[in-house]
Amino acid sequence: MPIRTAYTAKIEHLQILDEQGNLDTSIGRPGDPGMLTDEQLLHLYVQMIECRQLDEIAFKLQRSGRMHTYPQNKGQEACALGAGFAMRKGIDWIVPCYRENAAMFMHGVPMALILLHWAGDERGNQYPPGVRVTPIAVPIGTQMLHATGIAWAAKVQRKDEVAITFFGDGATSEGDFHEAMNFATVFNVPAIFFCQNNQWAISVPRESQMASETIAQKGLAYGAQVMQVDGNDIFAVYKAVYDARERARAGGGVTLIEAITYRLADHTTADDARRYRDSNEVEAWKAKDPMIRIRLYLEKKGLWDSGRQRAEEERAEASVKQIVDQVLSWPAPKREEMFDSLYADMPQMLREQRQQWATHSLGLDGSQSGLRSGSSAASH
């Protein structure tokens, strides 16, 4: 036979909790391995309320000139919460992009540091010891290489650790994505690539930046396990990441998860999405807000009501206000502090630069002493 099928594949899509708050128990019931319990869901929903409150306050801080910019997480919280909760705190690694606040908080990053980061304060990247979260990555795609390196190190050292890295649909058009995926799958490292497909790479729609029908299928080219999930369904996100984590721990290697979601706000506070997004599209996705479907589910089970919603919103408002007041009252950093956390042991070259910066003069460096006289001679 001159022609035969060399390769076939399928992409499975997972949804467990639908938009009306109905739970499909055909693959498991609450409390089964990979399935959230009602108590866990209550905990996660409270965290979601707090993160949504932080978004609103951070937006106001930027608009009032007290923060440079800020990328809201609104609409995508189920991705960060479900995935973060499936990873083991203090054991696994969270390698974020810049829209994973909920996962970062869950794994030990203080909320105040996120606000400091977006205010341009380097101290916002100095996480407490033992926190297995890498700093926010603003350059698109670079963090996937870091996650691959972390996972490779864990494999070489025979450590029971898994790294999960987050990125958007636009990042899969970057070379870093392909290099990281190729290396990670060739060396079969314990890594999870979690793509938050929120349909827009700033102002470029997904269909204008790739011809593939799904992002998940890109992982097939590298030999990764792949899955597409409803990214606004926290049950589906948790299940997919939990299974990928256990598979990685057992030596099953890399999983690429494509979570279908939507950013309900602008790309950042420096963006105006009304210039390129249709308002009808935004309204349709508002109905799919992960907060709505979780609340519907909890209300149907008698675990939530309007009184508790109001009480938790008030608690979140007070909690975030306290953190904001703390951040705004912190003394300004000293300029030379930019050198302090770059290396564990500062090289002599940086010590000299730090000293020169502090003295406001290159003239204190003997090796630079000829610059001024040379400049003077040249002028004659």
Q: Active site residue: 99, 132, 146, 263, which one? A: 263
Q: Which neighbouring-strand residues pair with 168?
A: 196
User: How many Å apart are CA 119 and CA 121, to the nearest integer?
Assistant: 6
380 is catalytic: no
242 is catalytic: no
**E strands present in 30-176:** 93-95, 163-168
Q: Active site residue: 13, 276, 335, 372, which one? A: 276
State the SS3 of 307-357. HHHHHHHHHHHHHHHHHHHHHHCCCCCCHHHHHCCCCCCCCHHHHHHHHHH
State the SS3 of 157-173. CCCCCCEEEEEEHHHHH
User: What is the identity of the amino acid at 300?
Assistant: K
Q: Active site residue: 117, 132, 146, 267, which one? A: 267
User: How many Å apart are CA 227 and CA 15, to the nearest integer?
Assistant: 11
Task: Extract the tokens encoding 238.
Answer: 């948790």
Helix 77-86 with 290-300: angle, nearest 10 deg = 70
Helix 38-63 with 290-300: angle, nearest 10 deg = 150
63 is catalytic: no
Q: Is 227 left (phi over 0), alpha (psi -120 to 50) or beta?
A: beta
User: How many Å apart are CA 327 and CA 111, to the nearest integer?
Assistant: 10
User: How many Å apart are CA 231 and CA 77, to the nearest integer?
Assistant: 9
Contact 77, 102 (CB under 8 A): yes
Q: In this structure, how many other beta carbons lie within 10 angstroms of the beta carbon of residue 171?
A: 25
Catalytic residues: 263, 267, 276
